[in-house]
Chain A
Amino acid sequence: MPRTEALEPETRPAGFLPSLSDAVRRLVHFRLGLAGFVIILFFGILAIGAPYIAPYGENQQSYNILQPPSAQHLLGTDSIGRDTLSRIIYGSQVSMEFGFGVALLSLVLGIILGAFPGYFGGLIDDLFSRFFDTVLMIPAFFLIILAVALFGSNIQTSMLIVALTSWPSNARITRAQVLTLKTRAYVQASTVTGAGHLRILFKHILPNGISPVIANSALQMANAVLIEASLSFLGLSDPNHVSWGTIIFGAVENFNAWWLSMAGVTLMILTLGFNFAADGVSYLLTPRLEVAKG
């Protein structure tokens, strides 16, 4: 059955990663997705360049206690005279580290543990599906509280626990993609020319199926950032590094110091940024028809 090739919208297999120039062109049209990426980039720069950007030190105390915003301290100071703006800038380090760290680990775990069962099927697949469901039941937050109680508050441990409890969503998506893609003709063609399983998985299936997992990762970053902020708000985070949650807690402690809650605004913006970026990645996958005028 011949298809009408000439004028139908481009149909790409699910998960197809567009070329870079194509991606950029599409993003420019989808302002929200672009905004998301810009926000992430912004905070990334803040995090990396904190020592150079922040006007004061992370824990630099002064005698200007609980001052409202002024020319010297744009976002005021806290109960021991530390500049809020600087602490917020430094706080982005922890947030970004937590967000990216968790997402990366969860991504790698999820892809590997989702691809193999999906590809080989059978008993392994059944077992792993039950395993995913089980792990998903574990409440990450309480596990972290337990770990902090046992091992002390350590950013790496917390990251590890969050990643270990969130990888199944990536695994589920990967598995579904692998199941779909392994029936594609080009995959069968590779088998027929003698390619081994690993080559087929990593060279053909995963590159074609990975995009929804990346979108999901962006959402996981948002979630991780919120978890980290919650932990530090409760005082369960590493006391050596300032985090937005800690600053926000300062606003609770000192009720009139509203400027300390600005860390909540940055938290909201970054979380939104990850969400928009996730939308942006999804958008990149879906071809759009132009609307004819006239």
Chain B
Amino acid sequence: MTPLLEAQRLTKRYSASREIMSGESQNASSMIMAVDSVSFKVAKGETLGLVGQSGSGKTTVGKLVLRLEYPSEGRILYEGEDIHLFKRKRLRDFRSKVQMIFQDPYESLDPRLSLRSSLEEPLIVHGIRSRSEKTLRVEDVLTKVGLTPPQRFLKLRPDQLSGGQRQRAAIARSLILQPELVVADEPVSMLDVSVSAEILNLMLELKRSMNIAYLFITHNLPHAAYFCDRICVMRQGQIVEEGTAENVLRHPEADYTKTLISSIPLYPHQ
């Protein structure tokens, strides 16, 4: 059974020539290895978590999967095909099936456009121009994410919404093309905890009803354990542990994972 998404020895290097590094000489090998030979698979409808702290390379992996950046080495396969070989029609198809939700609810949406415009854009880009069809799909997706009544929210601009509402709108945009895979990079990190829980539950519900696979990128291990089927723990560009959510949390094997878990602050009686 071909996995929906597969990363094979994915590597990404950036040249550090523009950084001032203390005590290190500037030479050709001062490259930053953001992602170091990362491999993983995501099956249809499955949720894989990439958990790591800043600098672990998790966000870069997300960008590589979305084809926003090119890997230095390795491949990304979507339904068995290398995504960097996609051209035109196949690329367009890929762009409708794989969507994203990013971290900052204040930046995910174009501040000058109404929600309607932001949500309609993916439809227009993929050839759906009939006014009635666009309205139908936009209202449908707004209802799905809980921004009801949709007619009221369509007219609003991002600065008229709260952080949680903006993130819901960003999720709505990610759904409008009925994707198979959504890359969510820290979707709740900038939201209040009460709103985060709601958004995570919404995403879980959508996963079930629309059979969406998620690549869930976060620094928050408990959230990943809640949301994901399987988790990969990343450190300095490498995957140090992989397993089901429960196993990684309750029976960690790698030292780093153990350190990570013991660092999580807990209030007494938690």
Known: A1-B189, A195-B125. A189 touches B100 (CB 8 A): yes
Of the listed residues B103, B112, B177, the one surrounded by the most CB atoms of chain A closer than 10 A to its CB is B112
B121, A188: Cβ atoms closer than 8 Å: no
Known: A5-B163, A16-B112, A188-B102. A194 touches B190 (CB 8 A): no
Q: Which residues of A contact B103 (CB under 8 A)?
A: 185
Q: Majority SS of interface residues in chain A?
A: loop
Q: Does A3 contact B (CB under 8 A)?
A: yes
Stretch at the interface among B14-22, B30-38, B90-98, B231-239: B90-98
B111, A16: Cβ atoms closer than 8 Å: yes
What are the interface flags for A7-22 relative to B under an 8 Å C-beta threshold, 1 for contact and 0 otherwise? 0001111001100000
B100, A192: Cβ atoms closer than 8 Å: yes
Ordered nearest first, which 7 A-B pairs have the shortest CB separation? A194-B95, A193-B122, A185-B107, A185-B102, A186-B110, A194-B125, A2-B192
B190, A3: Cβ atoms closer than 8 Å: yes
Q: Does B109 contact A (CB under 8 A)?
A: yes
A193, B107: Cβ atoms closer than 8 Å: no
Known: A5-B163, A16-B112. A192 touches B190 (CB 8 A): no
Query: A1-B190, A190-B121, A193-B173 provided; 12 other pairs, C-beta below 8 A?
Result: A2-B191, A5-B162, A184-B107, A185-B108, A186-B107, A186-B110, A188-B102, A191-B68, A192-B95, A193-B122, A208-B110, A208-B112
Q: Which residues of B contact A196 (CB under 8 A)?
A: 125
A-B contact pairs, 14 of them (CB 8 A): A1-B190, A2-B163, A2-B192, A5-B162, A17-B112, A186-B108, A188-B100, A189-B102, A191-B68, A192-B100, A193-B99, A194-B92, A195-B121, A208-B112
Which B positions have Cβ atoms within 8 angstroms of A? Answer: 66, 68, 92, 95-96, 98-100, 102-104, 106-112, 118, 121-122, 125-126, 159, 162-163, 170, 173, 177, 189-193
Q: Does A139 contact B (CB under 8 A)?
A: no
B121, A193: Cβ atoms closer than 8 Å: yes
Which A positions have Cβ atoms within 8 angstroms of B? Answer: 1-3, 5, 10-13, 16-17, 184-186, 188-196, 199, 203-204, 207-208
A188, B68: Cβ atoms closer than 8 Å: yes
Q: Which residues of A contact B100 (CB under 8 A)?
A: 188-189, 192
Known: A1-B189, A2-B192, A185-B108. A194 touches B66 (CB 8 A): no
Q: Which residues of A contact B118 (CB under 8 A)?
A: 186
Assembly CA distance A2 to B103 (angstroms) = 11
| CB contact between B190 and one of A2, A11, A16, A207 (< 8 Å): that residue | A2
Q: Which residues of B contact A17 (CB under 8 A)?
A: 112
A199, B125: Cβ atoms closer than 8 Å: yes
Assembly CA distance A208 to B110 (angstroms) = 8
B104, A185: Cβ atoms closer than 8 Å: yes
- In whole Å, how far is A212's beta carbon from the nearest beta carbon of chain B? 15
Q: Which residues of B contact A2 (CB under 8 A)?
A: 163, 190-193
- In whole Å, how far is B204's beta carbon from the nearest beta carbon of chain A? 21
Known: A192-B99, A193-B173. A208 touches B111 (CB 8 A): yes
Of the listed residues A13, A17, A191, A193, the one surrounded by the most CB atoms of chain B closer than 10 A to its CB is A193
Closest B residue by C-beta to A208: B112
